[in-house]
Every structure is written in structure tokens, then in C-alpha cells.
Structure 1
């Protein structure tokens, strides 16, 4: 099994760790780009949501890099997001990729622990929950997800005060790379200090009075820089 999932900003770091800790080979699609969007638009229904088209393009990118199993988050409620995986799988088969499976990961069942069964199936072991690596994978995922949120929070606090445009972006890229390469729990526990240390090196001008802007919206567009024109930066 070679597994992949669509781009959703830096969250890919946490999901990559989750599956790799379960012993699953992961390939990442190329960062969402114009070509991926063109493919998604070409093969999607005309009036479907834009995130559907973007993630479909990401899936094709991952398939071309060797992925044979794709994971797509789903949800309940009025949004069509809950049907993405089923429709996208049919479209991918129609494109000629007949042996590709899309496995839904339902966000609505987190407290019912149905996701445990999904991860068991992905790991190929029905008693996976008994293994320490399963618990370790969940812990690593949650910790990295929290740290990614901390990095994003720090970005919101510091970026508007930077003296040299682009310094905050460079710090974020460096921290994301360090976090992606961190595979020891002891190092993850200390990573909050790494974030503080790196951001405290930033040359800032506290005399500024920048606008305070709140961002809200559809989750994929909120998280993925390419599709929101990197609005946070």
C-alpha cells in the first residue's frame, strides 16, 4: 500500500506522521498548483465546489507519484463535503485509474472511535489497537497538529511587525521542516520552546499599529495557501 491525501496547508505534516508511524508508506502530492486545478476542473461536474476540484487534482498528482490508496476526510451535515470521496473515486476510475481506492475518514465519529477501525484497516492488522505503535501514532499526530496550530498562531502575532518582509515566512518554513523531521516524543515535548526561540529572533517593529483581521470560511480554502492566494501572508 502506498497512501496519500490531498494538500491542506501544513496539516499534511501531522497526517504524514500518523500514517508513517503505522508503518504505511506515504507519498505526498505536489503542492497544489495550476496544473492540478486544471485537471480537477476538467474532470469534475461544472457546478461542484471548488475544493472538490482542487483535491481531485491533488489526488491525480499523488496517483502519478505511485499512490494506490487515498484518504479523504468526510463530515455529516448539509455540506457536500461528506460525498466528496464517493464521487471522486468514481471520477478517478473513469479517468482510467481503476485500482485506486479512496478511504473516508469521518470527522463526525471521533468520539465514537469508528476511526480506530479505519486505521486498523489501513494498517492491515485487526488487533492494531493492542500495539504500542498505534497509540504512539495517535499521540504523534495530536502533538504535531497542536504544534502546527501554535506556529500558525505565532505567525498571526508576529508577521505584521516584521521589519524585513519575508522573515516570518522563512521562520515558518524552517519550523515546519524541523517538525516534519522530528520523530522522538522527547523532542516533540520541547518543540514549543523551539517555536518561541525562533520567533523571538525575528526583527520586529512594535511601534506599528497594524489592522487586526479575522479569517473564516470553508476549511480547505482556509488552510491551503495556493487556493486562498496565500491570504495569511
Structure 2
């Protein structure tokens, strides 16, 4: 049985694990990224490659040393360098002496025929029919959607929890339950059980948490190690967060359709052309968060990421025009948790003071003779 692996990106590994196993392969599930994983990637990556490139390279080194024979990954299009990363990873790994198969799937709408040719080769290696593959994908997709749903539910509950860390512990228990669910029926049952567990967490409904949107590059948004668990940290500071990217939503709107054009259209007054990656989306999503009454926005950008550098240069103008505070955080291998937490605390304090001032002015306006 061929051993197959993939990149680790947030909690999606549970869905990809099921996909690989249901196809008939042995899944070599990548471990959660660690400082050692990053160090491995930094050692062999080009110096000015972004941190997602380095972390994914480190992950591939780890799974290959555990016996992985095939890696399945995504490609990309446009000015962003991510479209070349799969080929660069393959070349580096082969130069290091690893004998592997790597399948790089670009978005199907950029070329349906090449996409299906590669997919046919993978299915042939698995000995799987097209019809059986459709059923396999449905189950994996259901699990991925559930993971996104529960992650959003957890972020909405965490700021209200009475016992610090209870939401995070419950969510981790839910990951184990979801991992055991294999059929559509079992996944549906896991959904009900996990939603109930999260909703039963004791909460203080009287709190008034801030609302902060998070925009930026997909890998640092989805992988908690990369963003230093920013959503958990903010939640425990009393902030409800919402990411601009969840994997199933991104796949449906950006990869399999053109739904992201609506968000990019919003960005046109500030950035009227596609700059690759999620740069234009970061501007458009920030405008959307401002219109929806969020208290602030945080941009997460890998160091040297050109699309996010472009967005970062434009976001101060968006902030001034729409009156929404924006904090940009640049992430690389030197970024430390303590420094990020200090900046987050200062940003949250600023947002609270701003809310109090706005409420004071609003109340004053209601006084007679004002």
C-alpha cells in the first residue's frame, strides 16, 4: 500500500487523512508544525522565501523520513510565487536524495484537462474508479465543512467562557470525535455531539466582546502555529474573531468558482487589479468587515509576501476612509509569541477605548439641548 502525505494546514489534516485512507492509500499524517519543523525548512529553503514555503518544506522532510512515497499538494496561479512552490519543493527534496512522487494540483478552472490527467494518475495508483472517488470526496468534504463550522463556533463562544481555556479543551476533544467519524451518518452524529459539547460550556452572556476580522495570506491564517494561536489569544482577551478564509469557503468561492470576484470588486477603489495571492482579497474583506460593524481588523502577512505587502501599503488609507483600526502583523521565523501578544493587548486596549469614546459621544447626543 503506497504511503501518501500532504501539507499540514490547521485542522484540515483530519479531512485529508480520511480522503487519502478512503482512496486506499496509507496516510502519513504530518505532525503539527513545531519550531523543529520550521528549522528544517529554513535550513534548505532559499533565504528570502516566505515562511509558508519554509514550514511546508520542513513538513515534507518530516513525512518523507517517516516513509511517505507520494505527496499531494496544491499549486497556484498569478503573480504570487506560491504557484511555483510545489516545483521548488520537489527540486529541493530530490537534490537531498529523496525519491518521491509529487502531484501538484492547480485550480481546475485554470486548466480542466491537466487537472483531470493528474487526478486520473492518482486514481490509477489507488485502483479507484471515478464513481467511487466521488463518494470518497463527499465524505471528506463533509468532514472538512464540519471542522470549519466547529472552529467558527468555538471562536464565537471563547470570549464568553467562565473558565479560561475550557473552549479550547472542548474543541480538542471534538477533534478526536471527528477523527473517529468515517461515514456520512457518523459525521452527522459527530456534528451534533460536538455542537452540544461546545454550547454546554458555561458562559457569561452579559459580556460585550469586541469583534475583530482577520485577513491575510491563507497559510498563516489557517495554521495556528504560524499565527501563534492568534484566535485563541484574542478570544481569551474577550474578542470574537472572524477569519476572512476558511478552507471549505475558500475552495468553493476561489478555487472551484469565481465568487471571490465580489470581494475583489469591493477593493477596486483602492486596488483595481489582481496582485496574486490574497492581496486584493485582504483589502476587500477589510472593507466588508468595516461595513458589517467590526471594531477592528488584523492583517497577517508572511515576511516577503508581495501580495500582502501591496495590501499593507493600502490598508492605512482604508482605515482612514472607513474609520476602522487595522493592525498589520508580519510573520517570519524570528517572530516571537511575547512580542505578538504585547501588540495584540495594545490593539485590544485601543479598540475598547475607542468603543467607550464612541458610546460616550452617542449618549451625549441624546441629552436635551445637546
Give your verdict on TM over 0.5. Answer: yes
Q: How does 1:2-21 map to 2 (within 5 A)?
A: 2-21=3-22
Give, in whole Å, the separation in 2 of the partners of 1:162 and 1:92: 45
- The separation in 2 between residues aligned to 1:140 and 1:116, in whole angstroms, is 20
Q: Is residue 225–residue 231 contact of structure 1 (8 Å, CA) maintained in 2?
A: yes
CA shift for structure 1 position 115: 4.5
Structure 1 residues 166 and 148, CA, compared in 2 at 3 Å: closer, same or farther?
Answer: same
Q: What corresponds to 1:230 in structure 2?
A: 229
**CA–CA separation in structure 1 for the residues paired with 2:208 and 2:110:** 41
Q: Which runs of 5+ in 2 are unaligned?
A: 233-370
What secondary structure sits across from 1:195 in the alignment? helix
Which residue does the alignment assign to 1:216?
A: 215
Q: Distance between the aligned counterparts of 1:192 and 1:29, measured in 2?
A: 24
Whether the 8 Å contact between 2:25 and 2:126 is mirrored in structure 1 is no
> What is the deviation of 1:190?
3.1
1:73 equivalent in structure 2: 74
* Structure with higher RCO (Cα < 8 A, 6+ apart): 1
CA deviation string 1:89-135 (max 9, x = no partner) = 111111221x1222102234399476454343223269844443x12
Partner of 1:43: 44
Counterpart CA distance in 1 for 2:11 and 2:196 is 20
Aligned residue pair count = 231
Residue 214 of structure 2: SS of its match in structure 1? coil
Per the TM alignment, residue 39 of structure 1 is displaced from its structure 2 partner at its CA by: 1.1
Given that residues 76 and 107 in structure 2 are in contact (C-alpha distance below 8 angstroms), is that contact kept between their aligned partners in structure 1? yes
* 2:160 corresponds to 1:158: no
- Give 1:184's aligned residue: 183
Give TM-score, length-normalised by structure 1.
0.92
Shift of 1:151: 0.7
Tell me, yes or no, if the aligned pair for 2:108 and 2:115 is still in contact at 8 Å: no
**Which residue of structure 1 aligns with residue 107 of structure 2?**
107
CA deviation after TM superposition for structure 1 residue 175, in Å: 1.1
Larger Rg: 2
Mapped to 2, the partners of 1:189 and 1:177 lie a distance apart of 15
Gaps of 5+ in 1: none
Gap change, CA 1:180 and 1:116, over 3 Å in 2: farther
Contact map agreement 1:23 1:123 (CA 8 A) in 2? no
Aligned to 1:173: 172
Structure 2 equivalent of residue 202 of structure 1: 201
